[in-house]
Amino acid sequence: MGEMLAYSRWRPSVLLRDVEPSDVAAYVRMRCDPAMMAELGGPVPRAGIEAKVETDVRRTRADEWWVAMIVPDAAAPEVVAGSVALWSHEDGEDVGLSEMGWMVLPEFQGQRYAKRAVRAVLERARDDGRWGVVHAFPGVSNAASNAVCRSVGFTLVGERNVSFAGRELRTNHWRIDPSTDLT
Protein backbone atom coordinates (compact mmCIF):
# COMPACT_ATOMS: atom_id res chain seq x y z
CA MET A 1 0.00 0.00 0.00
CA GLY A 2 2.77 2.41 0.92
CA GLU A 3 4.56 1.61 -2.33
CA MET A 4 1.44 2.19 -4.40
CA LEU A 5 1.00 5.58 -2.75
CA ALA A 6 4.61 6.44 -3.46
CA TYR A 7 4.18 5.46 -7.12
CA SER A 8 1.00 7.45 -7.53
CA ARG A 9 2.89 10.70 -6.91
CA TRP A 10 4.96 10.21 -10.08
CA ARG A 11 4.13 10.26 -13.80
CA PRO A 12 3.96 6.99 -15.71
CA SER A 13 6.73 7.59 -18.33
CA VAL A 14 9.18 6.26 -15.76
CA LEU A 15 8.56 4.53 -12.46
CA LEU A 16 9.98 6.31 -9.45
CA ARG A 17 9.55 5.47 -5.80
CA ASP A 18 10.77 7.20 -2.66
CA VAL A 19 14.15 6.03 -1.33
CA GLU A 20 13.91 3.25 1.28
CA PRO A 21 16.33 2.01 3.99
CA SER A 22 16.85 -1.12 1.88
CA ASP A 23 18.50 0.96 -0.87
CA VAL A 24 21.91 0.84 0.85
CA ALA A 25 23.27 -1.65 -1.71
CA ALA A 26 22.21 0.56 -4.62
CA TYR A 27 23.83 3.59 -2.95
CA VAL A 28 27.06 1.62 -2.52
CA ARG A 29 27.04 0.71 -6.22
CA MET A 30 26.42 4.34 -7.19
CA ARG A 31 28.62 6.22 -4.72
CA CYS A 32 31.49 3.89 -3.87
CA ASP A 33 32.36 2.94 -7.46
CA PRO A 34 35.27 4.72 -9.18
CA ALA A 35 33.60 4.71 -12.63
CA MET A 36 30.25 6.02 -11.36
CA MET A 37 32.02 8.75 -9.40
CA ALA A 38 34.70 9.64 -11.96
CA GLU A 39 33.06 13.02 -12.64
CA LEU A 40 32.09 13.60 -9.01
CA GLY A 41 35.51 13.64 -7.36
CA GLY A 42 35.93 9.87 -6.96
CA PRO A 43 34.18 7.30 -4.74
CA VAL A 44 32.99 8.24 -1.26
CA PRO A 45 33.87 6.07 1.77
CA ARG A 46 31.66 2.98 2.23
CA ALA A 47 31.34 3.75 5.96
CA GLY A 48 29.10 6.78 5.42
CA ILE A 49 26.50 5.17 3.19
CA GLU A 50 24.01 3.96 5.83
CA ALA A 51 23.93 7.46 7.34
CA LYS A 52 23.39 9.06 3.93
CA VAL A 53 20.52 6.67 3.12
CA GLU A 54 18.99 7.28 6.56
CA THR A 55 19.13 11.06 6.04
CA ASP A 56 17.68 10.83 2.52
CA VAL A 57 14.84 8.54 3.73
CA ARG A 58 14.03 10.78 6.70
CA ARG A 59 14.07 14.00 4.68
CA THR A 60 12.02 12.44 1.88
CA ARG A 61 9.42 11.03 4.27
CA ALA A 62 9.15 14.51 5.80
CA ASP A 63 8.57 15.89 2.25
CA GLU A 64 11.56 18.24 2.72
CA TRP A 65 13.70 16.61 0.01
CA TRP A 66 12.60 14.40 -2.86
CA VAL A 67 15.02 11.51 -3.21
CA ALA A 68 13.62 8.91 -5.61
CA MET A 69 14.81 5.62 -7.00
CA ILE A 70 14.27 4.79 -10.68
CA VAL A 71 12.45 1.44 -10.99
CA PRO A 72 12.72 -0.36 -14.37
CA ASP A 73 10.07 -2.99 -13.54
CA ALA A 74 7.08 -2.38 -11.27
CA ALA A 75 6.99 -6.09 -10.46
CA ALA A 76 10.44 -5.82 -8.83
CA PRO A 77 10.56 -2.45 -7.05
CA GLU A 78 13.72 -3.42 -5.18
CA VAL A 79 15.70 -3.44 -8.46
CA VAL A 80 16.74 0.13 -9.26
CA ALA A 81 18.29 1.70 -12.34
CA GLY A 82 19.52 4.74 -10.45
CA SER A 83 18.35 7.72 -8.44
CA VAL A 84 17.25 11.29 -8.84
CA ALA A 85 17.10 13.91 -6.10
CA LEU A 86 15.75 17.42 -5.58
CA TRP A 87 16.62 19.42 -2.50
CA SER A 88 16.89 23.01 -1.31
CA HIS A 89 20.09 24.46 0.14
CA GLU A 90 19.66 25.27 3.82
CA ASP A 91 22.75 27.36 4.61
CA GLY A 92 25.59 29.35 3.09
CA GLU A 93 25.29 31.86 0.30
CA ASP A 94 23.03 29.52 -1.74
CA VAL A 95 20.35 29.23 0.96
CA GLY A 96 16.98 28.59 -0.69
CA LEU A 97 18.53 27.45 -3.98
CA SER A 98 16.85 24.31 -5.38
CA GLU A 99 19.24 21.73 -6.85
CA MET A 100 18.86 18.41 -8.64
CA GLY A 101 21.26 15.51 -9.02
CA TRP A 102 20.99 12.09 -10.72
CA MET A 103 22.81 8.81 -11.25
CA VAL A 104 22.07 5.81 -13.47
CA LEU A 105 23.85 2.47 -13.00
CA PRO A 106 26.03 1.27 -15.91
CA GLU A 107 23.75 -1.52 -17.14
CA PHE A 108 20.85 0.95 -17.44
CA GLN A 109 22.72 3.87 -19.02
CA GLY A 110 21.84 5.05 -22.53
CA GLN A 111 18.15 4.09 -22.20
CA ARG A 112 16.79 7.55 -21.36
CA TYR A 113 16.31 6.68 -17.69
CA ALA A 114 18.06 9.84 -16.50
CA LYS A 115 16.18 12.07 -18.93
CA ARG A 116 12.78 10.57 -18.11
CA ALA A 117 13.41 10.62 -14.35
CA VAL A 118 14.64 14.22 -14.33
CA ARG A 119 11.63 15.28 -16.38
CA ALA A 120 9.25 13.47 -14.05
CA VAL A 121 10.72 15.18 -10.99
CA LEU A 122 10.59 18.58 -12.70
CA GLU A 123 6.94 18.02 -13.68
CA ARG A 124 6.13 17.22 -10.07
CA ALA A 125 8.14 20.27 -8.93
CA ARG A 126 6.16 22.44 -11.35
CA ASP A 127 2.86 21.06 -10.06
CA ASP A 128 4.00 21.40 -6.43
CA GLY A 129 5.10 25.01 -6.88
CA ARG A 130 7.46 25.39 -3.92
CA TRP A 131 10.81 24.85 -5.67
CA GLY A 132 11.02 27.79 -8.08
CA VAL A 133 13.98 27.75 -10.46
CA VAL A 134 15.90 24.45 -10.25
CA HIS A 135 19.69 24.34 -10.68
CA ALA A 136 22.10 21.53 -11.64
CA PHE A 137 25.90 21.42 -11.47
CA PRO A 138 27.41 18.59 -13.54
CA GLY A 139 31.19 18.50 -13.87
CA VAL A 140 32.42 20.45 -16.89
CA SER A 141 33.72 17.24 -18.53
CA ASN A 142 30.67 15.11 -17.66
CA ALA A 143 29.32 14.73 -21.22
CA ALA A 144 26.40 12.48 -20.32
CA SER A 145 25.12 14.62 -17.46
CA ASN A 146 25.47 17.89 -19.38
CA ALA A 147 23.53 16.20 -22.21
CA VAL A 148 20.76 15.31 -19.75
CA CYS A 149 20.48 18.98 -18.76
CA ARG A 150 20.40 20.14 -22.36
CA SER A 151 17.83 17.57 -23.49
CA VAL A 152 15.41 18.27 -20.64
CA GLY A 153 15.40 22.02 -21.23
CA PHE A 154 17.90 23.47 -18.77
CA THR A 155 19.78 26.64 -19.83
CA LEU A 156 23.55 26.89 -19.34
CA VAL A 157 24.36 29.82 -17.06
CA GLY A 158 28.17 29.46 -16.83
CA GLU A 159 30.75 27.62 -14.75
CA ARG A 160 31.31 27.56 -11.01
CA ASN A 161 33.10 25.60 -8.32
CA VAL A 162 30.85 23.56 -6.04
CA SER A 163 31.58 21.17 -3.20
CA PHE A 164 30.11 17.66 -3.46
CA ALA A 165 30.65 15.12 -0.68
CA GLY A 166 33.40 17.33 0.69
CA ARG A 167 35.30 17.78 -2.60
CA GLU A 168 35.63 20.86 -4.82
CA LEU A 169 34.45 20.33 -8.40
CA ARG A 170 34.58 22.55 -11.48
CA THR A 171 31.03 22.40 -12.82
CA ASN A 172 28.71 23.80 -15.39
CA HIS A 173 25.80 25.73 -13.87
CA TRP A 174 22.45 24.95 -15.48
CA ARG A 175 19.05 26.34 -14.54
CA ILE A 176 15.44 25.57 -15.44
CA ASP A 177 12.11 27.10 -14.48
CA PRO A 178 9.88 24.01 -14.57
CA SER A 179 6.75 26.13 -14.97
CA THR A 180 7.92 27.50 -18.34
CA ASP A 181 11.05 25.72 -19.64
CA LEU A 182 10.29 21.98 -19.73
CA THR A 183 10.84 20.68 -23.27
CB of 107 to ligand COA, least distance (A): 10
Residue (61 or 110) nearer to ligand COA, CB: 110
Residue (24 or 165) nearer to ligand COA, CB: 165
CB of 120 to ligand COA, least distance (A): 12
CB of 59 to ligand COA, least distance (A): 19
- Site for ligand COA, rule CB under 6 A: 36, 39-40, 82, 101-104, 109-115, 138, 142-145, 147-148, 151
CB of 79 to ligand COA, least distance (A): 15
DSSP the chain: -HHHHHHHTS-TTSEEEE--GGGHHHHHHHHS-TTTTTTTTSPPPGGGHHHHHHHHHHHHHTTSSEEEEEES-TT-TT--SEEEEEEE--SSTTTT-EEEEEEE-GGGTTSSHHHHHHHHHHHHHHHH-SS-SEEE--BTT-HHHHHHHHHHT-EEEEEEEEEETTEEEEEEEEEE-TTT---
Residue (104 or 121) nearer to ligand COA, CB: 104
Residue (60 or 83) nearer to ligand COA, CB: 83
